[in-house]
Structure 1
Amino acid sequence: MVDLRSDTVTRPTAAMREAMAAAEVGDDVFGDDPTVNALEAHVAALFGHEAALFAPSGTMANQIALQLLVPPGEELLAGADAHVVTYEVGAAAALGGISTRTWPSVGAALDAEAIAAMIRPAGYPSLPTRAVAVEQTHNLGGGGVVPLAALHRLREVTLSAGVALHCDGARIWHAHVAAGVPLFTYGQLFDTLSVCLSKGLGAPVGSLVVGSAERIARARAIRKRMGGGMRQAGILAAAGLHALEHHVQRLADDHARARRLAAALEPFGVVEAAAVRTNVVLLDLAKTSLDAPTLVKRAAERDVLIVPMLPRTARVITHLDVDDDGIDRAAEVLSDLLRAA
C-alpha cells in the first residue's frame, strides 16, 4: 500500500518512539511538564516570539489564535479556500463568534492591495475587520509558497490599518526549506502563528500557537475551555522535539519526490511539474474523462491511496513514509489510470 492521502498519515520512526518513551513528564495543565515547556520555548525561539502553546491539533491551534485576535461579532479576512474557513467545520463562527469574509481563491498568489481594499475600519457602519489570516504553504494552492515580498507588503497593510495578521503555518516548515526563508523571518511578520508537527514532520499529534507572552497566557484559558488541556503531554512533545531536530531538512526529499511524480503525470495534462514547489501535487482532471472520486476509487483498488479535494481535482502528498519505490509505484498506477481515461 502506498498512502499518499496526506502527510498526517506518517507513523513515528523508531528513534522518535524511543524519544517518547524516555520523555520526562509532568502535568501540563499545571504547567510543570518539562518536555512540553522545552518544546514551547524552542518553537517560540525559532519564530522569534516570546511564547508558544502546545495544542492537540492544527484546527484547535488556529481557532485559539483567531479568538486571541478577533472579538466575538467582529471580522476575519481570509482566502476563500483557506483552511481556517474551509476545513475547520465552521469553528470560527461556532466557537469564537467570528464573522468571516473572504477574498477570491488565488492560492499562494497573495494580492496585498486587494486585501487592503477589503479592510473595514472601526466605526464603519458594518462590523470592523480585526485580523487577516494567510496560509503558508497553501494547501488548495497545491502546496504553493506565498512569496516573502507579498507577506512583507501585507504586513505593511495590516500595521497601517491596525489589523492583526495570523499565519496558518501548518506546513511552514516546507516553505522554509523550499524558499530558504528563515523561520525567524517568517515569525516576525505575524502577530500569531499556528505550526503543525504532524504534517510532514512525522510527529503523531500536535500543533503550537506562537505569539506574545500576554496572548499565550490568554491562549491557555481558551485551550482549556475548548477541552485541549493535556496532562502528561511530554510524551507527545518529545515526538515534536525529535521531529524538529531530525525531520525538517529532509523535507527536501519529499519535495523532490513530489516533483518526480508530477513529471511522470505531466504528459497526461493533469499537472505542471514546474509548478510543484513542496510536497503537494494537485491533479486537475478537467481535461480527462475522470472525476476525482472515480480516480481515487480506482487507485485504491490498486493499493495507491489519494484523496479528492474538488469534483475534478485530486490531491497527492509525499511524506517520510513513502520512499522512491513508493513514488514509482504511484506513478505507474496513476499513469495507467490516466492513460485509460
Structure 2
Amino acid sequence: MTPSTLSRVLADLRSDTVTTPTPEMREAMAQAAVGDDVYGEDPTVNQLQAEVARLTGHEAGLFMPSGTMTNQVAIALHTRRGEEVVCAEGSHIYEWELGMMATFSGVVPRFVPAPLGVPDPEGVRLAVRHSVHQSPTGMISLEDTHNKAGGTVIPLEVLAAVRTVADMEGLPLHLDGARVFNAAAAQNVPVSDITRHFDTVSVCLSKGLGAPVGSVLVGSAAAMKQAHRYRKMMGGGMRQAGVLAAAALVALRDGPDRLREDHRRTRQLAEALVEAGFDVNLAAVQTNIIYATLPDAAAQVARWAEQGVLASALGPDSVRFVLHHQVSDEALAEAIRVLTA
C-alpha cells in the first residue's frame, strides 16, 4: 500500500491490527513506570501479565511482542522434537507462522477437519498417536475464534469435550486465543469460561482489543518460568516494555466492551455484500471477520484501495474484511458504498 493511498483511506478493513493508539493509550504510555522486563523488573509489564492471568483464570502470564511468539513458545513448552501437534485444519499456528513449529520445536501438525472452525472432539481423539511406529502426539491446539474459517466461535461444550479428550490421552491443551475476547463477546460469557479449559492460552492484545503491540501467554507459574527462557531464545526480551504494556492495559480495560459493536457492524457489512451479489457464507460471520469469494481478488482489492477502502486479498479468489473499533458507522457506510457500487 502506497503512502498516497493510505492518506485518503475511508475505511481500513485489512485487519484489526491496523488500529492506532487512542489518546488514553498515549497518555498511559507517557506516564508508564518502567524497568528491565528481561529481569522481571518492569512494574507495568508485571501488572499487565497479572491482569491477563486473572481474567483468564490462570496463575501467571508472560508478555511478548506477538501472538506468533506466544503460540510458538507454548508449542516449545509442551512438545519434544519429532512429535505432532493435533490442530484444526486452517490453524494459524500452521498457516501463518512460517513453519516455526518445525524450525524451532522440531514438530509437525496433524490436522483434523473443522467445519466452520469447529473440530469434532471424537476426530481429535482419533488423531492422537501413541504408536511406536508413528510420530507421537505432543499436544492439542485449538483456535478461538478461528481466523481462516471466518472468525468463527467454538461452542463451550466442544471445548469441554476436547479438554476431556486431552485429559484421557494425557496431553496438554493450548488455545490460540488471538481473538478470544471476540469469542467471549459473541457468546456473552466471561472470557474465563473459554480459557479455563486450557493449559496455556495465547491472548493477543493488538487485534480486536486495539493495543498497538503485544500478546500475553498465560498458564501455570512453572510453565511461565520456562516460557521466559524460550521467549529470550526467540529474541523476545523487550527490556523497558512498560510503555507498551501501559497501552495494552488500557486496551484490556476498554476493548472488550466495544467488541459487540464491531460484530454488529461486521454483520451489517456482510448482509450488504450478500445483497449486492457477493459470495459470503453468512453462517461463518459470527464475530468481526468476513471472507468473500470473487474472481481476480487482488485486482478488485486494488480498485477499492484507489477509492479509499482497504481489504486483504488472501488468495486468487478470496478477500477478507475485518472490522475494528476505529471503523465508525459513518466509515462503514462509506465502505459499503464503495464495495457495492
TM class, shorter-length: over 0.9
Write the mapping of 1:229-248 to structure 2, written as runs, cut at 5 A.
229-248=237-256
Q: What's the secondary structure of 1:125's corresponding residue? A: coil
Q: Is 1:12 aligned to residue 31 of structure 2?
A: no
Give identity over the alignment, percent. 48
Write the mapping of 1:1-341 to structure 2, written as runs, cut at 5 A.
1=9, 2-121=11-130, 123-267=131-275, 268-273=277-282, 275-285=284-294, 290-336=295-341
Residue 67 of structure 1 aligns with an amino acid whose one-letter code is: A
Rounded Cα–Cα distance in structure 2 between residues aligned with 1:159 and 1:291: 46
Which residue in 2 is equivalent to 1:339?
none
Query: When the two structures are superposed, what TM-score results if normalisation uses the length of structure 1?
Result: 0.94
Task: Confirm or deny: 8 A CA contact 1:6 1:316 kept in the other structure.
Answer: yes
Task: Confirm or deny: 8 A CA contact 1:263 1:272 kept in the other structure.
Answer: no
Please report how far the alpha carbon of residue 236 of structure 1 lies from its aligned counterpart in structure 2 after TM superposition. 0.4
Please report how far the alpha carbon of residue 105 of structure 1 lies from its aligned counterpart in structure 2 after TM superposition. 4.9
Rounded Cα–Cα distance in structure 2 between residues aligned with 1:131 and 1:275: 27
Q: What's the secondary structure of 2:176's corresponding residue? A: strand
Task: Confirm or deny: 8 A CA contact 2:83 2:108 kept in the other structure.
Answer: yes
Rounded Cα–Cα distance in structure 2 between residues aligned with 1:71 and 1:180: 37
Residue 320 of structure 1 aligns with an amino acid whose one-letter code is: H
Q: What's the secondary structure of 2:240's corresponding residue? A: coil
Query: When the two structures are superposed, what TM-score results if normalisation uses the length of structure 2?
Result: 0.94
Rounded Cα–Cα distance in structure 2 between residues aligned with 1:203 and 1:269: 32
Please report how far the alpha carbon of residue 294 of structure 1 lies from its aligned counterpart in structure 2 after TM superposition. 2.1
Structure 2: unaligned runs, 5 residues or longer: 1-8
Rounded Cα–Cα distance in structure 2 between residues aligned with 1:238 and 1:201: 13
Task: Confirm or deny: 8 A CA contact 1:79 1:106 kept in the other structure.
Answer: no
Which residue in 1 is equivalent to 2:3?
none
Residue 180 of structure 2 aligns with an amino acid whose one-letter code is: I
Distance 1:84 1:239, change over 3 A: same
Please report how far the alpha carbon of residue 329 of structure 1 lies from its aligned counterpart in structure 2 after TM superposition. 1.2
Q: What's the secondary structure of 2:166's corresponding residue? A: helix
Distance 1:266 1:153, change over 3 A: same
How many residue pairs get aligned? The number is 331
- CA deviations 1:60-106 (Å, max 9, x no partner) are 01000111111122111112210000000000001111122112353
Rounded Cα–Cα distance in structure 1 between residues aligned with 2:56 and 2:325: 24
Please report how far the alpha carbon of residue 304 of structure 1 lies from its aligned counterpart in structure 2 after TM superposition. 0.7
Q: What's the secondary structure of 1:97's corresponding residue? A: coil
Task: Confirm or deny: 8 A CA contact 2:116 2:284 kept in the other structure.
Answer: no
Residue 299 of structure 1 aligns with an amino acid whose one-letter code is: W
Q: What's the secondary structure of 1:158's corresponding residue? A: helix
